[in-house]
Amino acid sequence: MKRIQIITGASSGIGREFALQMARNRKADEIWLVARRRDRLESLAAEIALIDGAAKPLVVEIDISGKAGATKLAKTLEREGQSGDLTIDALINNAGFGTYGPFADTPLEKELEMIDLNITSLTALCHHALPYLAGGSLVVNVASLAGFIPLGNFAVYAASKAYVLSFSVALAAELADRKIFVSTVCPGPVDTEFALVASSGAREKVVDGKSAEAVVRACLTDAQRGKRISVMAWKWKFKAFMSRFVGRYWFARHTFVHEKRPSRSDGV
């Protein structure tokens, strides 16, 4: 039985760190590195190949965005699993992005692309993976601290991550009897390329960003302990907890007025 691990958005940031930490700490036969940037995937594969006892890295250059993109990866799974001896040891749904700025000022096409990747692809890949999951398999869906409450100047991204959080908890409940563990990681600001993409180049890094290494390590530790929602820093934990007591409209209005997010689309 061939056991594989799949990491989407593996070319940088949190996805790259998941690939490295799982290669060091979780046994499998192959680790599929899924993203669009082949050069970065090949560099990561070479790094994994040097880790003693690591799974064999496989570069999977695919744009998984939307139904069509997820289907491409599903067809690769079908080809590899035709003999019936393929098991997904771990599926890490990390691919995603955000956009800064008021909804009225952000390009609609970009917002819809975000929904396609953050929601449609993640949902489809979870469904496509189901036949290959078994007892002991791990599914990690990367949500966000933004998923706990609506955010002005970040409306669609926060809504997309609220979907990921809600869907993942429900999926965890449905798969529990099969001994398949579903974890949802909800990071706040992390020091990755996220801000650069979200701001269309106006902001290079988030303020007070935590390391991707720490976020991933905490997530995998929480999963081992049976904790289904992983929120690492105490500041993040406090914000997630307090979101239960703050008016949703009030907080959306507050963030819209007082927490502007720079973006090239609004002339910044």
Per-residue pLDDT of 68-112, as tens digits, reads 999 999 999 999 877 678 999 999 999 999 999 999 999 999 999
Q: Tokens for 62?
A: 């695919």
- Average pLDDT of the segment spanning 239-267: 86
**Backbone phi, psi, residue 29, to 5°:** -90, -40
- Average pLDDT of the segment spanning 213-228: 97
Residue 144 pLDDT more than 90? yes
- Average pLDDT of the segment spanning 203-226: 89
Per-residue pLDDT of 252-261, as tens digits, reads 999 999 988 7
User: Is residue 132 annotated as a catalytic residue, yes or no?
Assistant: no
The CATH number of the domain holding residue 197 is 3.40.50.720
pLDDT on residue 261: 75
- Which entry of 100, 132, 157, 249 is annotated as an active-site residue? 157
> Residue 86: which domain range?
2-266
Mean pLDDT of the chain: 93
What is the domain count for the chain?
1
